[in-house]
Amino acid sequence: MDSLKRTPIYEEHTKLGAKIVPFAGWEMPLQYGSIIDEHLTVRNKVGLFDVSHMGEIFVSGREALDFLQKLVPQDISKLFPGKAVYCQLTNKTAGIIDDLIIYRLEDNEEYQSYLLIVNASRLEEDFDWIEFNKKDGSYDVEIDNQSDNMALLSVQGPFASDLIEDMGLSKDEQPVKFTIKTACLDSYDVLISRTGYTGEDGFEILIKNENAVHLWQEILEKGQKYEIKPIGLGARDTLRLEASMLLYGQDMDDKTTPPEASLSWSIPSNKEEDYFGKEIILSQLENKNMSKILIGFRMTGNAIARHNYEIYKDNEKVGIVTSGGIAPALKANIGLGYINTNIPTLIGTKLDIKIRDKFFPAEIVKRPFYVRSMRK
């Protein structure tokens, strides 16, 4: 069995008393204190995450755009330098190999450069698939996996912009939503994007491993005025669920298509270029010929749904819970799951979740469960 990896920030986590757990091949902080407290810190103040386990793959070259257009359903041609887009890597049967964000970096008409931020658990599969298709199509591109050389820190919450300004990047200079830029932060050269996995305003900062600890310490120090806290994987999961953001391996996999995962919003119907699974995906978009669909639900009592619990409608099993838990900012219990498309999926549809051989009521609700405007 391969030994678990550690991020450059690992020793800082132990100094802060974090509970360390294995995750996607890494030793990562689950929590430093209360998960609910960490969750609410991000919702109301600002939190700092070490997400250096994520993968960074650079794709560049004369045919980089054509190459990426083949790999993802999104239309990468609409990206201007600095712009980012959420998308999926799909296989030949339209299954999701991974979900990722693609950033177009500064380039010119003859030479394009892109950064792919991918899930830690899928880095090897993603890289192999990308390399295979480069060789298979003889594309003039360079694939550079820099995951082992770079750290990724995430600053999330309503005071994130103020904190980044205190770190030396004025609000006028900060990237706008879903863009990326090079910057000098606390005297270090970084790539900083206005993206995140929490449903809050925030930034993700890519920095060389050797500078990561100092930047982590400086962010925590300058963030004291905003009552910053380091945030672990536990709150990261509750935050993303509350914001209805999917988790690969639970809410989608390589046997799930983007339309089935309710990701149709991320797929242009008019993209001309061919891509893996295009015929299946477009058919599902147009004809709704899917056997399952991802829905969001809210428990109407105090019961908590968990991964792999069964979903029932009128005493008949109709689906499975993929993610479930508490929503601290909403003071509710929520979940995501797949249900058969032969039953109603309208908002308000009544369901039952089977928990330890008993049925507990739930109903389909609008997603996302939480948006910033709900903050009191």
Q: What is the pLDDT of residues 263-310, one digit of tens each?
A: 999 999 999 999 999 999 999 999 999 999 999 999 999 999 999 999
Determine the pLDDT at residue 2.
66
User: Would you say residue 271 lies in a domain?
Assistant: no
Given 145, 169, 189, which residue is the final one in a domain? 145
Determine the pLDDT at residue 338.
98
Are 111 and 235 within one domain? no
Q: What is the pLDDT of residues 186-239, one digit of tens each?
A: 899 999 999 999 999 999 999 999 999 999 999 999 999 999 999 999 999 999
Are 140 and 180 within one domain? no
User: Would you say residue 254 lies in a domain?
Assistant: no
User: Would you say residue 285 lies in a domain?
Assistant: no
Q: State both tokens at 29.
A: 């902080």
Q: What is the pTM of this model?
A: 0.96
User: Would you say residue 261 lies in a domain?
Assistant: no
Q: Mind spelling out the 3-state secondary structure of 123-184?
A: HHHHHHHHHHHHHHHCCCCEEEECCCCEEEEEEECCCHHHHHHHCCCCCCCCCCCCEEEEEE
- CA separation for the pair 100, 215 (Å, rounded): 25
Are 29 and 159 within one domain? yes
Are 72 and 15 within one domain? no
User: Would you say residue 207 lies in a domain?
Assistant: yes
Determine if residue 28 is left, alpha or beta; phi over 0 gives left, psi from -120 to 50 gives alpha, anything else beta.
Answer: beta
Are 61 and 36 within one domain? no
User: Would you say residue 276 lies in a domain?
Assistant: no
The number of distinct structural domains making up the chain is 3
Are 26 and 164 within one domain? yes
Are 99 and 123 within one domain? yes
Are 20 and 133 within one domain? no
Are 160 and 20 within one domain? yes
Give pLDDT tens digits along the chain (376 positions).
468 999 999 999 999 999 999 999 999 999 999 999 999 999 999 999 999 999 999 999 999 999 999 999 999 999 999 999 999 999 999 999 999 999 999 877 778 999 999 999 999 999 999 999 998 878 999 999 999 999 999 999 999 999 999 999 999 999 999 999 999 998 999 999 999 999 999 999 999 999 999 999 999 999 999 999 999 999 999 999 999 999 999 999 999 999 999 999 999 999 999 999 999 999 999 999 999 999 999 999 999 999 999 999 999 999 999 999 999 999 999 999 999 999 989 999 999 999 999 999 999 999 999 998 877 6
- CA separation for the pair 353, 300 (Å, rounded): 11
Given 106, 121, 145, which residue is the final one in a domain? 145
Phi then psi dihedrals of residue 355, to 5 deg: -125, 115
Given 207, 242, 277, which residue is the final one in a domain? 242
User: Would you say residue 125 lies in a domain?
Assistant: yes
Helix axes 123-137, 64-71, angle to 10 degrees: 120
Q: Which residue range forms the structural domain that includes residue 28?
A: 5-54+148-242
Are 136 and 157 within one domain? no
CB burial of 230-265 (b: ≥16 within 10 Å; e: otherwise) equals: bbbbbbbbbbbbbbbbbbbebbbebebbbbbbbbbe
β-pair type (229-230, 47-50): parallel
**Residue written as token pair 């309503």:** 158
Q: What is the CATH number of the domain that holds 235?
A: 3.30.1360.120
Whether the bond between 258 and the residue before it is cis, its omega within 30 degrees of 0, is no
Q: Could you tell me the CA-to-CA distances from 211 to 23, 105, 190, 194 in Å, in that order?
A: 24, 22, 10, 20
User: Would you say residue 43 lies in a domain?
Assistant: yes
Are 40 and 67 within one domain? no
**Residue written as token pair 């209360």:** 34
Are 172 and 300 within one domain? no
Q: What is the CATH number of the domain that holds 86?
A: 3.30.70.1400
Q: What is the CATH number of the domain that holds 323?
A: 2.40.30.110
Largest CA distance in the chain: 62
